[in-house]
Amino acid sequence: MLKKMTMKDVDLKGKRVFCRVDFNVPMSEGNVTDDTRIRAALPTINYLIENGAKVILASHLGRPKGTVNEEMRLAAAAAKLSELLHKDVKSLDESIGEKVEQEIAAMNEGDVVLLENVRFHPGEEKNDEELAKAFAALADVFVNDAFGAAHRAHASTAGIAKHLPAVSGLLLEKELDVLGKALSEPDRPFTAIIGGAKVKDKIGVIDNLLENVDNLLIGGGLSYTFLKAQGLEIGTSLLEEDKMELALSFLKKAEEKGVKLYLPIDVVIVKEFSNDTETKVVKIDEIPSDWMALDIGPETVKLYSDVIANSKLIIWNGPMGVFEMSSFENGTKSVAEAMAKTEAYTVIGGGDSAAAVEQFHVADKMDHISTGGGASLEFMEGKELPGVTALTDK
């Protein structure tokens, strides 16, 4: 249980509420191309409106490095939010200062404004005290609902919390609840599926997962460091050479802990990184030295699907192959479909993994798709999230 104050612990009626959300959404040509994060914030925003707050939303978008960047303005996100809320959302072109104060002074209960990208100020990422105070001066209460940015100690996620009653929003609470339960009271068998390309980032998660899971399915670019460490030829497949020893230690730890750790038993290989080139399916000990593996093979799909079908809780981060190319999508697609079919509680974390379940039309079959990429990983690693730590204790 979260030992932090929540929105239910404070009186919101007539109050100016600075609500930090994560509207760091994919954009193309000035339009929001994926509104998942905006939709995920709706319960909190609606709660604030229904309880008579004056809703002052704040977010970052992209990494503008402390200066105004025309392509990273939040106006398009405000328009999208307005459409989803069926309500006017005023988009401001600053996040602090006199003009913003005037706009806020003119707000009625239930009104919603979205401040400009907080990262246009260099003090945001530095967690500058003055900027945090300037944000706090705009409001009576701070609500943090930006789970996706909770691993950042910034002025609008952590600094501001020192100067106002600071409470969690519904999305933040839900993410912590779901991910926290997955780690502390897991339904068993508990299976983790880890893949993708960020081998360095994900190695730390595996260490922590081995303390907790019954099955660990490894796929994607992550597999080959393990396979090579076991002495297998992996050709030109993705490798983090300096992580081989760590990979071996995890194989040993899995054995000691009685965790069933699975690695691919067959793979789809190609000579060059391309969608339009000859592919072959080979057993794992048959990869020629000048070929690379870009997907798990059908035998592995069957093995992994069986484990998935017999699990009660599954968390998945990182695709099984280069699913963006049709020749290498089968592994990721099949795992996504196996997860969609199971009775188990299913959690997806990670930007590309979430995109994959969207692409294969099974997103609505998953129990929880985390809005946090880095944040969910750091949480699963057992690290503290500064955006949560900063909230007022209960």
Ligand X SMILES: O=C(O)[C@H](O)COP(=O)(O)O
Q: Which residues are catalytic?
A: 37, 198, 351, 374
Helix (H, G, I), strand (E, B) or coil at 216: strand
Distances, alpha carbon 356 to alpha carbons 221, 234, 317, 363, in Å: 15, 25, 11, 9
Residue 148 Cβ vs ligand X, minimum distance, rounded to whole Å: 4
Helix (H, G, I), strand (E, B) or coil at 337: helix
Q: How many CB atoms sit inside 10 A of residue 178's CB?
A: 16
**Strand 31-32 relative to strand 27-28, pairing:** antiparallel
Residue 227 Cβ vs ligand ATP, minimum distance, rounded to whole Å: 11
The Cα–Cα gap between 324 and 390 comes to 38
204 binds Mg ion (CB under 5 A): no
Q: Exactly one of 123, 373, 386, 387 binds ligand ATP (CB under 6 A); which one?
A: 373
Which residue, among 104, 84, 74, has the nearest Cα to 44 in the 3D structure? 84
Each residue 236-255 as x (binds ligand ATP by CB under 6 A) or -, in order, gives --x-----------------
Each residue 329-368 as x (binds Mg ion by CB under 5 A) or -, in order, gives ----------------------xx----------------
201 binds Mg ion (CB under 5 A): no
List 28's β-bridge partners, or say none.
Answer: 31
List 368's β-bridge partners, or say none.
Answer: 347
∠ CA 114-119-124, rounded to 5°: 110
Structure tokens at 317: 């981060």
Q: How far apart are the first and last CA of the chain?
A: 11
Residue 328 Cβ vs ligand ATP, minimum distance, rounded to whole Å: 7
Structure tokens at 239: 């490798």
Ranges within 305-364 binding ligand ATP (CB under 6 A): 317-319, 321-322, 324, 350-353
Ranges within 201-220 binding ligand ATP (CB under 6 A): 220
Ranges within 52-81 binding ligand X (CB under 6 A): 63
Binding partner selected for residue 54 from ligand ATP, Mg ion, ligand X, none, CB under the kind-specific 5 to 8 Å limit = none
CA 369 from centre of chain = 8
Residue 329 Cβ vs ligand ATP, minimum distance, rounded to whole Å: 10
- Quick one: 189 exposed, middle or buried, by C-beta within 10 A (0-12, 13-18, 19+)? middle
24 binds ligand X (CB under 6 A): yes
Looking at 51-59, 70-78, 86-94, 192-200, which segment touches ligand ATP (CB under 6 A)? Answer: 192-200
| Site of interaction with ligand ATP (CB under 6 A) | 195-198, 220-221, 238, 293-294, 317-319, 321-322, 324, 350-353, 373, 377
Interaction site with ligand X (CB under 6 A): 22, 24, 63, 148-149, 152, 373-374
Binding site for Mg ion (CB under 5 A): 351-352
